[in-house]
Amino acid sequence: MTADEHNTEFRLVLEGITKQYPGCLANDQVSLKIKPGAIYALLGENGAGKSTLMKIIYGVVKPDSGRLIWEGKETSITAPVQARQLGIGMVFQHFSLFETLTVLENIALGMDGDSSADLAALANKITEVSARYGMALEPHRPVHTLSTGERQRVEIVRCLIQDIKLLILDEPTSVLTPQEVDTLFATLHQLAAEGTSIMFISHKLKEVKALCDYATVLRMGRVTGGCRPKEESTTSMAKMMVGDDTPVTHEYEKASGGVDFLIVDNLNQPTSDPFGVTLKNINFSVKAGEILGIAGVAGNGQSELLSALSGEDLTEVASAIRFPHVDLGAITPCKRREEGLAFVPEDRLGRGAVPDMSLWENGLLTGFLEGLVNKGVLNQGKIHDFANRIIDGYNVKCGDLNATAKSLSGGNLQKFIIGREIMQNPDCLVAAHPTWGVDIGAAICIHKELIQLRDQGSAILVISEDIDELFAISDRMGALFDGQLSPIRTPADTSIEEVGSWMAGIFDTTEAA
Q: Is residue 345 part of a domain?
A: no
Measured CA to CA, the distance from residue 378 to residue 71 in angstroms comes to 59
Main-chain dihedrals φ then ψ at residue 353, nearest 5 degrees: -150, 150
Q: Is residue 191 part of a domain?
A: yes
Instruction: Check residue 362 and give its pLDDT.
Output: 96
Q: pLDDT-derived band of residue 3, with 50, 70 and 90 as boundaries?
A: very low
Mode of pairing for the β-strands spanning 88-91 and 12-21: unpaired
User: Contact 168/58 with Cβ under 8 angstroms?
Assistant: yes
* Residues 170, 36 within the same domain: yes
Instruction: Check residue 171 and give its pLDDT.
Output: 81
Between 175 and 325, where is the model more confident?
325
- Output DSSP code: residue 381: H
Determine which helix (DSSP H) or strand (DSSP E) holds 33, and give its type and residue range: strand 24-34
Using the CB atoms, write b or e for 42-62: b if 16+ within 10 Å.
bbbbbbbbbbbbbbbbbbbbe
Q: What is the DSSP string of 15-61?
A: EEEEEEETTEEEEEEEEEEE-TT-EEEEEE-TTSSHHHHHHHHTTSS
| Domain range for 125 | 3-242
User: Contact 67/3 with Cβ under 8 angstroms?
Assistant: yes
Mapping DSSP onto H, E and C, the string for 130-176 reads HHHCCCCCCCCCEHHHCCHHHHHHHHHHHHHCCCCCEEEEECCCCCC
CATH number, domain of 21, equals: 3.40.50.300
Instruction: Check residue 2 and give its pLDDT.
Output: 45
Measured CA to CA, the distance from residue 498 to residue 295 in angstroms comes to 11
- Supply the mean pLDDT for the chain: 89
Measured CA to CA, the distance from residue 39 to residue 186 in angstroms comes to 12
CA angle centred on 67, ends 66 and 70, rounded to 5°: 155
Q: Is residue 431 part of a domain?
A: yes
**In sequence order, what are the beta bridge partners of 142?**
102
User: Contact 291/475 with Cβ under 8 angstroms?
Assistant: yes
* Helix, strand or coil, per DSSP, at residue 217: strand
- Of 204, 219, 242, the residue at which a domain comes to its end is 242
* Residues 317, 434 within the same domain: yes
Overall domain count for the chain: 3
Instruction: Check residue 8 and give its pLDDT.
Output: 67
Measured CA to CA, the distance from residue 303 to residue 26 in angstroms comes to 33
What confidence tens digit (pLDDT) does each residue in 141-170 have? 998 888 777 888 888 888 888 888 999 988
Q: Is residue 485 part of a domain?
A: yes
* Residues 217, 326 within the same domain: no
Is residue 116's pLDDT more than 70? no
How far does the chain reach from its first CA to its final CA, in angstroms? 71
* Residues 436, 477 within the same domain: yes
Q: Is residue 153 part of a domain?
A: yes
* Residues 301, 365 within the same domain: no
Is residue 299's pLDDT more than 90? no
- Output DSSP code: residue 467: H
Between 340 and 249, where is the model more confident?
340
What confidence tens digit (pLDDT) does each residue in 464-481 have? 988 888 999 999 999 999
User: Contact 277/483 with Cβ under 8 angstroms?
Assistant: yes
User: Contact 225/232 with Cβ under 8 angstroms?
Assistant: no
* Residues 355, 461 within the same domain: no
- Of 423, 455, 478, the residue at which a domain comes to its end is 423
Global pTM reads 0.74
Q: Is residue 279 part of a domain?
A: yes
* Residues 419, 439 within the same domain: no
- Of 423, 448, 472, the residue at which a domain comes to its end is 423
Q: Among 298-302, 385-389, 459-463, name the one with the lowest average pLDDT.
A: 298-302
Measured CA to CA, the distance from residue 429 to residue 459 in angstroms comes to 6
Measured CA to CA, the distance from residue 316 to residue 437 in angstroms comes to 35
* Residues 300, 330 within the same domain: yes
Question: Distance between alpha carbon 472 and the CA centroid of its chain, in Å?
Answer: 17
What confidence tens digit (pLDDT) does each residue in 209-243 have? 999 999 999 988 999 999 999 999 888 888 888 77
Q: Is residue 346 part of a domain?
A: no
Main-chain dihedrals φ then ψ at residue 259, nearest 5 degrees: -75, 155
* Residues 502, 410 within the same domain: no
* Residues 102, 219 within the same domain: yes
- Residues listed for the chain: 513
Q: Is residue 150 part of a domain?
A: yes
CA distances for 107 relative to 117, 119, 172, 362, angstroms: 12, 10, 18, 38
Q: pLDDT-derived band of residue 15, with 50, 70 and 90 as boundaries?
A: very high
Q: What is the CA radius of gyration of the chain?
A: 24
Residue 105 CB partners (closer than 8 Å, separation 6+):
98
* Residues 266, 235 within the same domain: no
Give which of 298, 307, 342 is closest to 323, Cα–Cα: 342
Between helices 380-393 and 410-422, what is the axis angle to 10°?
120
* Residues 255, 130 within the same domain: no
What confidence tens digit (pLDDT) does each residue in 404-457 have? 998 887 778 989 999 999 999 999 999 998 987 777 778 888 999 999 999 999
